[in-house]
Copies of this chain bind each other. A is one copy, B any other.
């Protein structure tokens, strides 16, 4: 029946899991609950039990399994050791060895969830066909994952790709969640877009369909699409910050492609109209011809990337 891979995306509430073939086709997807009691000590045994159960049900033997990949919400080094995941109650230990031990020695690879999702987009998503990419997640915050020559760039303390905290504004007085002021995340995340919108709306009385609405990123982008002039101004400010931030990233790692995902990216191609020009204005000429693509795997990027971890 061909070799199989299990991809696991461990989140704070649920564990997403997928069964893949070597070509990256997902054969089945399912979820289990993340049990965080007892400092998260049930989590890996629960995952191992679920994998074993699925394998038994489908008649997949140990020799048919190439391995199990897992993305986790915390810094993970190149040896599969996690350095604390406060959200799960975890301290420092080898996920790779522990989970492999629970799975009778099957090969396990582990990575940080944002980095693993970037790998997924490279394998089967918006970055397919590329081996040097930066995945940018415009969600509640701004996250990132960097892939160099097909492999995750981890960094010295697992913090490579923390692009939400690139400094893009010297004048900012509101404080970012990280304690600094002027981080990219303060403008380009879903909450950042709302912040920019509220700021613009408070500036004067210019008419806008945004007034009186319960704002979120979708409402703002819908207004941009509807041609609302105030919303378009907001989108331009958003685009200036995002373009400038991506240009700085390109000066450092010179990727082939930026893959844009996360909630804000659901606005679609219209996003490009606002940040690509500022990007080109700011970036060093050697990185001007970088490609931009939208992420296509959505919440499944994590299981795809996790599965891809064991193909190296």
Nearest CB on B from A289, distance (A): 8
A251 B156 Cβ-Cβ under 8 A: no
Is A167 on the interface with B (CB-CB < 8 A)?
yes
B249 A252 Cβ-Cβ under 8 A: yes
A254 B156 Cβ-Cβ under 8 A: yes
Is A287 on the interface with B (CB-CB < 8 A)?
yes
B253 A284 Cβ-Cβ under 8 A: no
B132 A282 Cβ-Cβ under 8 A: no
Indicate the size class of the contact surface on chain A.
35 or more
Within 8 A of B (CB), among A256-312: 256, 281-287, 289-290
Is A159 on the interface with B (CB-CB < 8 A)?
yes
A253 B153 Cβ-Cβ under 8 A: yes
B155 A253 Cβ-Cβ under 8 A: yes
Chain B residues, Cβ within 8 Å of A119: none
B75 A286 Cβ-Cβ under 8 A: yes
B286 A253 Cβ-Cβ under 8 A: no
A153 B163 Cβ-Cβ under 8 A: no
Nearest CB on B from A168, distance (A): 8
Specify which of B158, B180, B254 is in contact with A162 (CB 8 Å cutoff). B254
Chain B residues, Cβ within 8 Å of A125: none
Chain B residues, Cβ within 8 Å of A284: 159, 162, 165, 178, 180
